[in-house]
Amino acid sequence: DAKTTQPTSMDCAEGRAANLPCNHSTISGNEYVYWYRQIHSQGPQYIIHGLKNNETNEMASLIITEDRKSSTLILPHATLRDTAVYYCIVPTLGRLYFGRGTQLTVWP
């Protein structure tokens, strides 16, 4: 079972920051938060993960609240190619269970 809740859909203007929220209020102290995205018909793509500190890589930034009950994935300058379903996942016994994610639509 997915341990996270995400909005069903969001949209964002091209060139603006996309901020995708995720709630994981039952997360335990040693559990990581992972983010994936899936562009239409393709396999999911790993984006980033974190434990309690904020993380940044070439794709995105991950902000985790101090109580770890929620996080936000930030795409700093969204492009049309970022239109996808974004999944926030807290693994269970090392296994990833995908919920329905957030459909992000980036419009011109």
Partner 1 sequence: DAGITQSPRHKVTETGTPVTLRCHQTENHRYMYWYRQDPGHGLRLIHYSYGVKDTDKGEVSDGYSVSRSKTEDFLLTLESATSSQTSVYFCAINPGSGGGELFFGEGSRLTVL
Which residues contact partner 1 (rule: CB under 8 A)? 32, 34, 36, 41-46, 49, 87, 89, 91, 94-101
**Residue 14 or residue 91: which is nearer to partner 1 going by CB?**
91
CB-based burial, 66-79: b 16+ in 10 Å, e otherwise: eebebbbbbbeebe
Report the first-to-last Cα separation within the chain, whole angstroms: 36
Toward partner 1, which CB reaches closer, 13 or 92?
92
Cβ 12 to partner 1, closest distance in Å?
21
Give the whole-angstrom CA distance, residue 87 versus residue 98: 7
Residue with smaller CB distance to partner 1, 28 or 42: 42
Structure tokens at 54: 């904020």
Q: How far is the CB of 8 from partner 1 (least distance, A)?
A: 11
Residue 94 C-beta: closest distance to partner 1, Å: 5
What span, in angstroms and rounded, lies between the C-alpha atoms of 95 and 11? 30
Least separation in angstroms between CB 21 and partner 1: 18
Q: Which is nearer to partner 1, 88 or 106 (CB)?
A: 88
Reported residue count of the chain is 108
